[in-house]
């Protein structure tokens, strides 16, 4: 199954000049969604993963399903002001603007093996900030998994030596 055929390009969203990779067309298709989750989980089946940290908002969809498949817990990394209890925060630069990401301060315990999940790796700012947050709380980032990588934006260069797992790479817009 070629998962790329289930991704829809939306031009000039949310800003002129951006080609938005719409994953809702993949989610619509039970077979494609199931295959994506199976393939995303594959490298982690025989490795210890205590928690998945999913990045708002599409990282919740993939990370949540992966947590069920891998039998581990799930932690939402959210936009500022959304989480009700005490949080830790990191700022980052997005392909289209600035933002920050927060995690509940008591969500990750020292030494836990954490997998970071999002739908798409663009400039890498969001994932890099999330990896820093996990580190702040004493978690060990065992890897980061993405459905899509926009390779031409070189986001992986910002993720240091974190092992990456990516299902589809787009080398140009
Ligand atoms: P970045 O921090 O630049 O790696 O941006 C990654 C985050 O922004 C992910 O949560 C993506 O969902 C979203 N994102 C950035 N660029 C795009 C794009 N071209 N299409 C779809 N989502 C994007």
- Looking from the CA of 112 toward its CB, the CA atoms found within 13 Å total 22
| Cβ 64 vs Cβ 70: under 8 Å | no
Atom of ligand 1 minimally distant from the CA of 128: 2
Which of 13, 96, 126 should be mutated for ligand 1, with most atoms under 8 A from CB? 126
Query: Model pTM?
Result: 0.97
The enclosing H or E element of 67 equals: helix 58-70
CB-ligand 1 contact for 156 (6 Å cutoff) = no
- What's the pLDDT score for residue 95? 58
| Peptide bond between residue 27 and the one before it cis (omega within 30 degrees of 0) | no
Each of the 173 residues of the chain gets a pLDDT tens digit; together they read: 999 999 999 999 998 999 999 999 999 999 999 999 999 999 999 999 999 999 999 999 999 999 999 999 999 999 999 999 999 999 987 656 788 999 999 999 999 999 999 999 999 999 999 999 999 999 999 999 999 999 999 999 999 999 999 999 999 87
Tokens of 127: 């994932």
- Ligand 1 nearest-atom number relative to CA 56: 10
- List the CATH code of the domain at 41-170: 3.40.50.2020
């Amino acid at each position: 199954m070629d998962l790329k055929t289930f991704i829809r390009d939306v031009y000039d969203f949310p800003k002129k000049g951006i080609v938005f990779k719409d994953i809702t067309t993949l989610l619509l298709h039970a077979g494609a969604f199931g295959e994506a989750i199976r393939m995303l989980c594959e490298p982690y089946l025989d490795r210890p993963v205590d928690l998945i940290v999913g990045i708002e908002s599409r990282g919740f969809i993939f990370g949540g399903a992966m947590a069920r498949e891998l039998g581990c817990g799930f932690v939402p990394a959210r936009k500022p002001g959304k989480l009700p209890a005490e949080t830790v925060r990191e700022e980052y630069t997005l392909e289209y603007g600035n933002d920050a990401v927060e995690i509940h301060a008591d969500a990750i315990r020292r030494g836990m093996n954490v997998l970071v999940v999002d739908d798409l790796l663009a400039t890498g700012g969001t994932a890099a900030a999330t990896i820093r947050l996990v580190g702040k709380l004493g978690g060990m980032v065992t890897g980061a998994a993405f459905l899509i990588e926009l390779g031409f934006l070189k986001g992986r260069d910002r993720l240091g030596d974190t092992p990456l797992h990516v299902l589809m790479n787009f080398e140009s817009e």
